[in-house]
Amino acid sequence: MTVDLSVDYCGIKHENPFILAPSPSTDNLDFLIKAFEAGWAGAVLKTVAVDSRIVSRVFPMVTRVEQEAAFIGLQNIDLVSEHSVEIVEKNVRVLKERFPHKIVVPSIMAFSKEDWQALAKRFVDAGADIIECSIWHPHGTEWTLCTQVNEPVGTEKIAGWVKEAAGDVPVVIKLSALDSDIIATAEAVERSGADGVSAINTIKSITGVNLDTLIPYPNIAGLSTYGGLSGPALKPIALRCTAEIAQKVNLDIAASGGITSWKDGAEFLLLGASTLQICTSVLRFGLGIIDELKQGLASWMEDKGFQNLTDFIGKSLPYLVEHSRLPRGIQVVSHINKEVCNGCGVCFTACRTGGHEAILLAEGFPKVEASKCIGCGICHAMCFLKAITLIRPGGEPKPAS
């Protein structure tokens, strides 16, 4: 079976759902040309302000976020595009002339109604397929030249201004998980007449503190600042935001935050996203990951019998219910697969400290006392080898998941 990866987002057909998210990479015309040649469906250009040239950068701008040497994300203190509006305008024209079927999305930021509308009109005239508005910025707010709006009324007003100026060109508003009520803001976007949302922006964060110098990272000549967290650490939050918006608001969603593999992408699509914006994974693995993303998603679709993306976009949403609607009275117990278990003892410790002391150590390996196990799942969650499954008492164990 041949599957179709194309998708309609805000009325614009994308050849596949994979889009480059705004970043330093998408501020470079040569890089964007290579990306489109490699097979990316489109790109959101790095956010541009009315006069980005006054922005003053500091270095280093990016630090690694890790836990026990495992990469979990990046924190950046980068600001808006260093290019003038004229240069970004020219890049849009070049890209659309050379790649008429690729999706080029300028990201704009402004302070006044006049500036929001002027930027929108300029990029519409340049041939932009979609206009994305970066209303809220997690760091460097004194440099962003943006109305600092993080509430529905202001968002609705700005979205309406831009939509009025953009006319038939779709307008997308980028949302933040730090919003006090992201659903209320998404509803405001819907009321404004805008066409979609992008969720989510990076999250204001601190990478850590150097215990020798006592200076938080990154160290900029003895001082530090807050930055925007991106990468795998954001995925659970971004999934939640995507699902909540999809359940409550009738807007197209571009998902962003922690998408590393085609599996991540499939999860976001199942929870209601139409397109997938990716940045950190490209920085780690390069533009060539687009082949794996497309092939992996296509193979999974074939296995599941899905012919196109609309067959499964939002298909997991009906399974998400309020806690009060979850079924009660279903008993499960832990089962340890000895063929997979290496006797590390993590499950024993977890059950002793947070469970019901239902796991014993016998000859160096854990054993479950079914009469004590309540099925809380702490041991299952802690087992890195996936040697533990939760089964009905007396039931047959299934393969680890």
| 113 phi and psi angles, rounded to 5 deg | -55, -45
- The residue to which tokens 């950190």 are assigned: 280
pLDDT for residue 142? 53
- Cα angle 248, 198, 241 (rounded to 5 degrees) comes to 45
**CB crowding 52-65: b at 16 or more within 10 Å, else e:** beebeeeeeebbeb
Tell me the pairing of strands 42-44 and 18-20: parallel
| 30 phi and psi angles, rounded to 5 deg | -60, -40
- The two structure tokens encoding residue 240: 């939640």
What is the rounded average pLDDT for all residues in the chain?
Answer: 92
pLDDT for residue 145? 40
Q: Which residues have C-beta within 8 Å of that of residue 315, sequence separation ≥ 6?
A: 270
Question: Helices then strands (H, E): number in the chain?
Answer: 11, 19
Q: How confident is the model at residue 178 (pLDDT cuts 50, 70, 90)?
A: confident
Closest CA to 114 of 150, 74, 79, 164: 164
As a whole number of angstroms, the distance between CA 23 and CA 21 comes to 6
Closest CA to 283 of 209, 231, 356, 339: 231
- 167 pLDDT more than 80: yes
Which whole number is the average pLDDT over 31-60?
85
Q: What is the pLDDT of residues 274-323, one digit of tens each?
A: 999 999 999 999 999 999 999 999 999 999 999 999 999 999 999 999 99
Q: Where are the domains of the chain?
A: 7-319, 327-391
Which whole number is the average pLDDT over 32-57?
86
- 260 pLDDT more than 70: yes
Q: How confident is the model at residue 267 (pLDDT cuts 50, 70, 90)?
A: very high
Starting at the earlier edge strand, list the strands of the sheet with 42-44.
Answer: 103-105, 42-44, 18-20, 275-278, 252-256, 196-199, 171-175, 131-133, 107-108
pLDDT for residue 57? 66
Which whole number is the average pLDDT over 62-80?
85
pLDDT for residue 144? 46
As a whole number of angstroms, the distance between CA 148 and CA 165 comes to 21
Tell me the pairing of strands 333-336 and 388-391: antiparallel
- Cα angle 255, 47, 52 (rounded to 5 degrees) comes to 170
**Helical spans, DSSP H, in 193-343:** 235-248, 262-270, 280-285, 289-304
Which whole number is the average pLDDT over 157-163?
96
Per DSSP, what are the bridge partners of residue 133?
Answer: 108, 173
- The two structure tokens encoding residue 310: 């609309």
3-state helix, strand, coil in the chain (%, to 5): 35, 20, 45
- 266 pLDDT more than 50: yes
Q: Best-predicted range by mean pLDDT among 34-43, 173-182, 219-228?
A: 34-43
Share of the chain above pLDDT 90, in %: 79
Per DSSP, what are the bridge partners of residue 1?
Answer: none
Longest dimension (CA), the chain: 74
Q: Can you say how many angstroms the Cα of residue 289 is from the centroid of all Cα atoms in its chain?
A: 17
- Of residues 395 and 2, more confidence is placed in 2
- 130 pLDDT more than 50: yes
Contact predicate 110/123, CB 8 Å: no
Closest CA to 348 of 314, 321, 387, 309: 387
- 148 pLDDT more than 70: no
As a whole number of angstroms, the distance between CA 95 and CA 49 comes to 20
pTM over 0.85, yes/no: yes
Q: Which residues have C-beta within 8 Å of that of residue 175, sequence separation ≥ 6?
A: 136, 182, 185, 186, 189, 197, 198, 199, 200, 201, 241, 245
- The two structure tokens encoding residue 193: 């007449």
Q: How confident is the model at residue 63 (pLDDT cuts 50, 70, 90)?
A: confident
What 3-state class would DSSP assign to 276?
Answer: strand
| 230 phi and psi angles, rounded to 5 deg | -130, 175
pLDDT for residue 140? 56
Per DSSP, what are the bridge partners of residue 276?
Answer: 18, 255
Which whole number is the average pLDDT over 226-239?
95
pLDDT for residue 52? 54
Q: Can you say how many angstroms the Cα of residue 172 is from the centroid of all Cα atoms in its chain?
A: 15
Which whole number is the average pLDDT over 324-347?
93
Top CATH class of 327-391 equals alpha beta
- 143 pLDDT more than 50: no
Which whole number is the average pLDDT over 161-187?
95
pLDDT for residue 150? 53
> 275 vs 1, 91, 271, 398, CA distance in Å?
23, 22, 12, 34
DSSP 80: S
Q: How confident is the model at residue 135 (pLDDT cuts 50, 70, 90)?
A: confident
Top CATH class of 7-319 equals alpha beta
Residue 153 identity (one-letter amino acid): V
Q: How confident is the model at residue 203 (pLDDT cuts 50, 70, 90)?
A: very high
